[in-house]
Chains A and B, each alone.
Chain A
Amino acid sequence: MKAVCWMGTHKIETQTVPDPELVNPHDAIIKITKTAICGSDLHLYDGFIPTMESGDIMGHEFMGIVEEVGKDVTNLKRGDRVVVPFTIACGNCLFCKKKLWAACDNTNPNAHLMEAAYGYSGSGLFGYSHMMGGYAGGQAQYARVPFANVGPLKIESDLPDEKVLFLSDIFPTGYQAAENAQILPGDTVAVWGCGPVGQFAIASAFMLGAGRVIAIDRLPERLALARSLGAVTVDYSENDTDVLTALKDLTGGIGPDSCIDAVGLEGHSTELQGVYDKIKTAVMLETDRPVVLRQAIQAIRKGGTVSVPGVYGGLLDKVPFGAAFGKGITMKMGQTNMHSYMKPLLERIEQNQIDPSYIISHRITLDQAPDMYKVWRDKKENVTKIVIDPWA
Chain B
Amino acid sequence: MSALNEKPNAETLPASSGGAILQDGHYLAPPEDADGKVWVRTTALVQGTPQDLYALWRQVEKAPLWQEHVEEVVVTGVNTSTWTMKYGEKVHTSNSQILADEPGKRIAWSSVDTDPHEAGEVIFEPATGDRGTFVILLMEFRRGKLAAAWESLLGRSPKQRVIEDLRHFKAFAETGEIPHSQTAPHGDRGLIGGMKRSLYGENVPTPAGAVAR
Mark A residues whose CB is within 8 Å of B.
1, 3, 5, 7, 13, 15, 17-27, 51, 53-57, 70-72, 90-94, 97, 105-113, 124, 130, 133-136, 140, 144, 146-147
Contacts and interface: CB of A to CB of B under 8 A. Distances in A.
Nearest to A56: B186
Contact of B196 (A5, A23, A53): A53
B179 A51 contact: no
A26 B193 contact: no
Given A25-B210, A94-B45, A109 B189 contact: no
Contact of B187 (A24, A57, A92): A57
Given A94-B47, A133-B179, A23 B186 contact: no
The B contact surface, by secondary structure, is loop
A105 B193 contact: no
B170 interface: yes
A280 B209 CA distance: 45
A22 B213 contact: yes
Contacts of A1: 185
B209 A24 contact: yes
Interface residues of B, number: 40
B179 A146 contact: yes
B212 interface: yes
A324 B66 CA distance: 46
Interface of B: 45, 47, 131-132, 160, 163-164, 167, 170-171, 174-190, 192-193, 196-197, 200-202, 206, 209-213
Given A18-B185, A51-B196, A106-B174, 19 more contacts: A3-B187, A17-B185, A21-B183, A26-B175, A55-B187, A71-B212, A90-B171, A97-B47, A105-B170, A105-B174, A106-B170, A106-B179, A110-B200, A112-B201, A113-B200, A124-B181, A130-B181, A135-B184, A136-B181
A53 B184 CA distance: 12
Contacts of A97: 47
Given A106-B179, A134-B181, A54 B210 contact: no
B181 A109 contact: yes
28 contacts: A7-B190, A15-B187, A17-B185, A17-B187, A20-B185, A26-B176, A51-B196, A51-B200, A53-B193, A55-B189, A57-B184, A57-B186, A70-B212, A72-B177, A92-B174, A97-B47, A105-B171, A106-B174, A110-B200, A111-B167, A112-B160, A133-B181, A134-B184, A135-B184, A136-B181, A140-B185, A146-B179, A147-B175
B184 A130 contact: no
A135 B184 CA distance: 6
The A contact surface, by secondary structure, is loop
Contacts of A7: 187-188, 190
Nearest to A69: B212
A90 B212 contact: no
Contacts of A90: 171, 174-175
A90 to B, nearest CB: 5
A90 B47 CA distance: 12
Given A90-B175, A110-B201, A23 B188 contact: no
The 7 closest A-B pairs by CB, nearest first: A5-B187, A22-B212, A54-B193, A55-B187, A55-B186, A15-B187, A134-B181
